[in-house]
Amino acid sequence: LDIVENIKYILNNLNVEVEEDGINLISELSSGAMRDALSLLDQVVATGKEKITVEDINECLGLVNLNKLFELSNSILNSSKNETIETFRNLVENGKTPNNIIIDLIKHFRNIVLVKSIKKELTTLNDVEYKRYLEHSNQFKMDELIFILENLLDVEDKMKKSDMQNALAELLIIKICSYRKEKSEMEKRIEALENMIKSGNLKIESKEEIGVEKPEEKATEVVESFETVETVETVENTETIETIENIETYENVENHENIQNTEISEASDNNEALFEKVDLSSFKDVLKSTIFKKTISKLFDESVKEIYYFPKEAFLHINCKEYLFKFGSYKLDENHNFVVQDNTVLNEFFTKINMPVHKSLTVYANFVE
């Protein structure tokens, strides 16, 4: 609010008129920094116009106008790679930088999410813009919007370190459009299967019908595969013992039961050390600000339920909802694991939870309802 008032004060002294929405746009672009706001205002005033519109500001600062943003999101909605890339390239040819286009798309999709989630008074949109965004937001699902926003944010960050901004932007467009198309096709197949099940055209067979081996039968086979060893006296050659593994030399073994008891005791000790765990649920914010810092905060808060850490193995167990990883920054392997090896992130994480620092951390996701 102070920035808006200061801009109005300066414009009044310069006898320059700027539309209210234009002043709000400059304030938003400054991200709360008065120095940045003054720099942007200086560029706008330098156009020499006495009355400046939002379109003038967009043109002066190389921003994408609202109609073009809706054109882009509509083509994404239709999963049209060709149309989306064509619109993107036209914007670049007209002087917009790939980075500015991505930044404006981030703001655009953020507005769609906000309109879909909160009341109008908490947005910065005027009545006309709000109505337009509201109608548009009804065509998207929230999980799709989260996927798009997270990927836009990721590419915008990569663009800061790359000279190939066009390639990054176009790859992102293909990724987003492909995701929507594949998701739509998957939903259609699932719906078709559900209809077949309801109509009785698809029969779900039981385990007995498809020949699944019963647990008790398997257990019997395992028991029969072992020889009973009651007494072992003065064992001189390990080749005579076929049922005991990992033993190279025995001297004066009097009873097989002693060997079994020793092995069970050692296994018990090892398991006790292996499964020693620490409940890190109270450190949820630490996990969010370090390992999951690129994940949307609200998504993380609503998804993660419990966190356990196994110090000896540098192993983190998270009970969470599936969509945290389905639309998040990390991709799980077939065992629901991913490995963190970023030294900066790991040092910060282990320091904050007051644990010894490891060179890598394996994270396992257990999906819960």
Domain ranges of the chain: 2-61, 66-184, 226-274, 278-367
DSSP at 163: S
| Long-range pairs for 122-125: beta carbons < 8 A, 24 or more residues apart | 124/24, 124/28
Q: What are residue 367's DSSP bridge partners?
A: 320
- Give the pLDDT band (50/70/90) at residue 363: very high
pLDDT at 138: 92
pLDDT band for position 98 (cuts 50, 70, 90): very high
Report the percentage of the chain scoring pLDDT > 70.
72
- Amino acid 232: pLDDT: 39
Which has the closest alpha carbon to 344: 363, 329, 361? 361
Q: What is the mean pLDDT of residues 34-59?
A: 84
| 2 — pLDDT class (breaks 50, 70, 90) | confident
Q: How far apart are CA 359 and CA 351, in angstroms?
A: 13
Find the radius of gyration of the CA atoms of the chain. 31
pLDDT digits (tens, 9 = 90+) for 121-146: 888 887 878 888 999 999 999 989 99
Please give the structure tokens belonging to residue 204: 């779900």
Pick the CATH number of 66-184 from 1.10.443.10, 1.20.272.10, 1.20.1090.10, 2.40.240.20: 1.20.272.10
**What ranges in 118-164 are assigned the alpha helix state H?**
127-137, 142-159
**Each residue's pLDDT tens digit, 244-301:** 344 343 344 344 444 444 443 444 344 434 347 788 888 898 998 999 887 767 678 8
Residue 299's Cβ-side half-sphere holds a number of Cα atoms within 13 Å equal to 21
CATH number of 2-61: 1.10.8.60
pTM, to two decimals: 0.44
